[in-house]
Amino acid sequence: MIDVAPRHVPTSDRGFDPRFLAWLSPAFPVGAFAYSHGLEWAVERGWVRNRVTLTEWLRDLVTHGAIRNDMILLAEAYRATAEGDLARLAETNDLALALQPSAERHLETVTQGNAFLETVRAAWGVAGLDAVAQAIAPDVAYPIALGASAAVHGLPCGDTLHAFGLAAVSNLTSAAIRLSAVGQTDAQRTIAALMDDLAACAAPAERSTLDDLGGAVYRSDIASLAHETQYTRLFRS
């Protein structure tokens, strides 16, 4: 195994690390603004049309769908990297890619994952990160890239999960604004309404295993498939 031990010992009592604000900022060059995770089709069909339906849609993703599964995969990638088990990390990445239910969702996670890891290596490089990148080349799922990078940097896993979940919800509420499903104030009300759900998802995800993967949010998967042939589109997924 290759030594990829972090420079700092992960601990939650250090306080929130400002690197999360940089890595998961809309300004970080992963192109998250280009993807709606199938939400564009859901708005087209009227499944999401206001604050209530948007909150319900995102809550299902957090509690039973892709955001929950991505947190579990992120936590596994974090543990594998922290333990220096790059073969396990590569297997987790392969699973994350294989679980994508549509071509566009695969594009979404790979494009963001590759861009995230490339940018972190260029701007926030530390010992061990190059070995991690080589282990999961050529394509990496976004939660795997974030989990592995956080582990190498010694950022707490629990905080990483919280930040990732909040960023995912924030990106999708931003998409809902651009799709005219909600206004800016209702988008913030949606995020506020989901804070407890995100915390309730992140805590068990930190203790999870791959056996905990699973979901039942089929309309989201159907939306991502239908979006591939949607006539007029703002987003790539």
The secondary structure of 74-112 as a DSSP string is: HHHHHHHHHTT-HHHHHHHHHHHHHT--SHHHHHHHHHH
> 179-191 b/e with 16+ CB inside 10 Å = b?
bebbeeebbebbb
Q: What integer pLDDT is reported at residue 115 of this predicted model?
A: 97
Q: What integer pLDDT is reported at residue 15 of this predicted model?
A: 65
Residue 180 DSSP one-character state: T
Residue-wise pLDDT tens digits, 1-24: 455 544 443 444 456 788 888 999
- Please give the model's pTM, rounded to 2 decimal places: 0.93
Give start and end residues of each alpha helix (H) in the chain.
19-23, 39-45, 51-64, 66-82, 86-98, 103-123, 129-135, 142-153, 157-178, 184-193, 195-206, 218-226
- Written as one letter, the residue type at 221 is D
The answer to whether residue 16 is domain-embedded is no
The answer to whether residue 201 is domain-embedded is yes
Separation CA 3–CA 31 (nearest Å): 31
The answer to whether residue 17 is domain-embedded is no
Provide the 10 A C-beta neighbour count for residue 46.
9
Q: How many domains does the chain have?
A: 1
The answer to whether residue 3 is domain-embedded is no
Residue 85 structural domain: 31-229
- Written as one letter, the residue type at 107 is L
Phi-psi bin for 149: left (phi > 0), alpha (psi -120 to 50), beta?
A: alpha
Q: What integer pLDDT is reported at residue 8 of this predicted model?
A: 41
The answer to whether residue 134 is domain-embedded is yes
Q: Which of 58, 72, 142, 157 is nearest to 107 (CA)?
A: 142
The answer to whether residue 6 is domain-embedded is no
Q: What residues contact 151, with CB distance under 8 A and at least 6 apart? A: 4, 6, 10, 77, 78, 79, 81, 82, 157
- Mark the ranges of the chain whose per-residue pLDDT is less than 70: 1-15
CATH number of the domain that residue 162 is part of: 1.10.4190.10
Q: What integer pLDDT is reported at residue 126 of this predicted model?
A: 84
The answer to whether residue 14 is domain-embedded is no
The answer to whether residue 23 is domain-embedded is no
